[in-house]
Structure 1
Amino acid sequence: MSQDLLVTPLHALHIEMGAKMVPFAGYDMPVQYALGVRKEHIHCRESAGLFDVSHMGQLRLHGENAAKALEALVPVDIIDLPEGKQRYAFFTNENGGILDDLMVTNFGDHLFVVVNAACKEQDIAHIQAHLPADVTLEIIDDRALLALQGPKAAEVLARLNPAVSDMLFMDATKLDLLGAECYVSRSGYTGEDGYEISVPSSQAEELARTLLAYGEVEWIGLGARDSLRLECGLCLYGHDIDTTTTPVEASLLWGISKSRRADGERAGGFPGAELILNQIETKDVARKRVGLIGQSKAPVREGSKLFDADDNEIGIVTSGTFGPTKEAPVAMAYVKTEFATIGTEIFAEVRGKKLPMTVEKMPFVPQRYYRG
């Protein structure tokens, strides 16, 4: 392991459990365990998987105007976010590009924000540069972050605190788990029901070991995390979205609150608003993010060029793998808008061969969030 890599509070436990470790976003992280990526993926879909996502950035925003300050940086309604609720958001730049995506929770006395590991430092600087004097940003460095995902996640976590059973998708609360004050949200990055749990670093290993002692639970590494999120049509920052893609190109209109659109009561007011709102109104974008299903068995990886039937280059794959649940190659890509219609056949270049793929609606596998 490189001397320069950071480690999570659960690093020693991963080593003990036989994880294969790889560098990821500046951390030494588990990519897979003894089960292997495919079996870990299927286990999470069928039972419950435990993920260490402590490399993510955890922040608190304090102050009466915290919601107003954050809302000025995202095309999302933060001011009216109810207490005990979480919302997906993304930072935009003046050109309408996406700086990062994030999760925001209103805990009443503060906003709790989780940002991507690779963007952590730039996000902190971006927020700090735009905060008014009466709002403070607190960087949380004494907490780990665990995700318990899968159809049996609720049953398992309820053994430690039955209150989790009453939570709905995107609910968030402070709960006692094994004597630790945890921030628990019913959310995740797999498309399955499940929870994300912010736990004090000193108590993270005890919580992880307790959960792993249940027969339903297995450690899941970054490899299966990637195939799970891709099957469920969830973007990976730096791959499927970045500073060169707008939310409209990225098919993320659902992530832009109605109140922030052209006819909303708090329309605009975020970086790149004029460009983004114009794209929404005119639908005038040259390319769109789409889902692709392969017609052969060969996986189509990130970076593969895409062509039409006349051999004209029309786009590029931004994420791709073989979907263990879909039992077919799945990919996300950007294609020229005229090729973004569901059912369109296009061709991916893989090792000099053109493999047929079909534009398909995402998610490829039904999302099973618990909405009551």
Structure 2
Amino acid sequence: MTDLLKTPLHALHLELGARMVPFAGYDMPVQYPAGIMAEHQHTRAKAGLFDVSHMGQVILSGENYETIATAFETLVPMDVLDLEENRQRYGLFTDPDGGILDDLMFANRGDHLFVVVNAACKDDDIAHMKAALEPDVKVTPVTDRALIALQGPAAEAVLAELAPVVTGMRFMDVATAEIDGAECWISRSGYTGEDGFEISVPEDAAEALARRLLAHDDVMPIGLGARDSLRLEAGLCLYGHDIDGGTLPAEAGLAWAIQKVRRTGGAREGGFPGAEAVLAQLADGPERRRVGLRPEGRAPMREGVELFEKEENGKPVGRITSGGFGPTVGAPVAMGYVPAALAAPGTRLFGEVRGKRLPAVVEKLPFVAAGFKR
């Protein structure tokens, strides 16, 4: 416990009465006194403030954007070159077999690419980028900034009081704004399925910004517990659980993230690690698929629960990768992998919980409609 890293907001979490837990090498708030259910519902109704400073922030710089983007496309199956300036895109690092090394966000900032990677993978991701891209593209980890997320239908109104520029931003736009003298890098994105923003702020200004946002009547601090239930209802993958090195993009339901220009027949087809396997699965369809599941009754089916086609006998056909209670849905929700033949919404399967097989019905994702500003 003594070796855990602390974010610039650590003292504020303690002051707010957070229950802290180890997560990805950091001491992080899992919930505050209001509790996970209240935090989840407040984010859906108004706005929640999340500390995501444990994530990795990285700047890729080079001779020009074309040089940077062309190099980065050797690591991801996304269209980086055609991304408009001040726009952001979801991406994936793939391995030589087409498996997912990590998922990430990247933004075209004109003279550089700004990349945000998962906390548990950031050291490996940075080493991966350095090995593949340097010296032509310089990989610079950002170590002096916090990252906070303001999520929920009231997020725009709250943040606009401090940074009016956000009212003109669409989903996945990025902008730079000065707040109380601090240069903030803002993206209109998040991990809850709600409208909202992620704000990279100098670490010495992070607590003051967090306090200003929390002073608003519509804003409540939110911990990792509600962050997880929110993203699960939104049908969003958690790396190391719903996606990993043994998962290809198409079977994970992430084919939408691979633009036409990088697919078979596209102008810049392939050219990324595992392209042959990834493109073959896009063309032929995967043998298994990530699906949403609605367990019948009130008992959640959590990660690791095996799925069966029949109530009795038979071998497992799949497995749950994320599961819990969905406060907005008012019932248990889960995601997992099943054979493609059993992936149609309405298919009835059975999850084995404490030795009993309980029914769960395949449901289209997301469980809660997205509230993004298009």
Shorter-chain TM band: over 0.9
2:350 aligned with 1:350: no
**Counterpart position of 1:320:** 323
- Correspondence 1:157-196 to 2 at 5 A: 157-196=159-198
**Counterpart position of 1:230:** 232
Q: More displaced, 349-358 or 165-174?
A: 349-358
Amino acid at match of 1:282: D
CA apart distance, 1:353: 1.4
Instruction: Give structure 1 stretches of 5+ with no counterpart.
Output: none
Q: More displaced, 62-71 or 146-155?
A: 62-71
**Counterpart position of 1:260:** 262
**Counterpart position of 2:4:** 5
Give the conservation status (yes or no) of the 8 Å contact 1:189–1:234. yes
Whole-Å Cα distance in 1 between the matches of residues 54 and 217 of structure 2?
A: 26
CA apart distance, 1:277: 0.6
Give aligned-pair identity as a percent: 61
Amino acid at match of 1:201: E
Aligned-residue CA RMSD (Å):
0.8
Amino acid at match of 1:241: I
- Equivalenced residues, count: 369
- Correspondence 1:100-115 to 2 at 5 A: 100-115=102-117
**Counterpart position of 1:369:** 372
Whole-Å Cα distance in 2 between the matches of residues 279 and 214 of structure 1?
A: 48
Instruction: Give structure 2 stretches of 5+ with no counterpart.
Output: none
Whole-Å Cα distance in 1 between the matches of residues 287 and 172 of structure 2?
A: 33
- Correspondence 1:122-201 to 2 at 5 A: 122-201=124-203
**Counterpart position of 2:344:** 341
Q: Deviations over 1:90-142 (max 9, x none)?
A: 00001010000000011101110000000000000110110142210111000
Q: Deviations over 1:37-96 (max 9, x none)?
A: 011000000000000000000000001211111111000000111100000000000101
Whole-Å Cα distance in 2 between the matches of residues 234 and 258 of structure 1?
A: 22
Amino acid at match of 1:361: K
**Counterpart position of 1:290:** 291
Whole-Å Cα distance in 2 between the matches of residues 123 and 190 of structure 1?
A: 24
CA apart distance, 1:193: 0.3
Whole-Å Cα distance in 1 between the matches of residues 282 and 57 of structure 2?
A: 31
Give the conservation status (yes or no) of the 8 Å contact 1:69–1:132. no
Choose from 205, 208, 232 the match for 2:207: 205
CA apart distance, 1:231: 0.1
Whole-Å Cα distance in 2 between the matches of residues 40 and 311 of structure 1?
A: 41
Whole-Å Cα distance in 2 between the matches of residues 248 and 254 of structure 1?
A: 8
Q: More displaced, 5-14 or 311-320?
A: 311-320
Choose from 272, 275, 290 the match for 2:274: 272
Q: More displaced, 267-276 or 305-314?
A: 305-314
**Secondary structure in structure 2 of the residue aligned to 1:176:** strand
Give the conservation status (yes or no) of the 8 Å contact 1:147–1:195. yes
Amino acid at match of 1:268: G
Q: Deviations over 1:316-338 (max 9, x none)?
A: 00000010001111101011221
Q: More displaced, 310-319 or 246-255?
A: 310-319
**Counterpart position of 1:19:** 18
**Secondary structure in structure 1 of the residue aligned to 2:38:** helix
Whole-Å Cα distance in 2 between the matches of residues 324 and 70 of structure 1?
A: 39
**Counterpart position of 1:306:** 307
Whole-Å Cα distance in 1 between the matches of residues 265 and 177 of structure 2?
A: 39
Choose from 343, 360, 364 the match for 2:363: 360
Whole-Å Cα distance in 2 between the matches of residues 347 and 55 of structure 1?
A: 37
CA apart distance, 1:355: 1.3
**Secondary structure in structure 1 of the residue aligned to 2:317:** strand
Whole-Å Cα distance in 1 between the matches of residues 293 and 69 of structure 2?
A: 37
Moved over 6 A (4+): none
Whole-Å Cα distance in 2 between the matches of residues 311 and 67 of structure 1?
A: 52
Amino acid at match of 1:314: V
Whole-Å Cα distance in 2 between the matches of residues 33 and 62 of structure 1?
A: 39
Amino acid at match of 2:13: H
Amino acid at match of 2:50: F
**Secondary structure in structure 2 of the residue aligned to 1:60:** strand
Whole-Å Cα distance in 1 between the matches of residues 159 and 230 of structure 2?
A: 21
**Counterpart position of 1:240:** 242
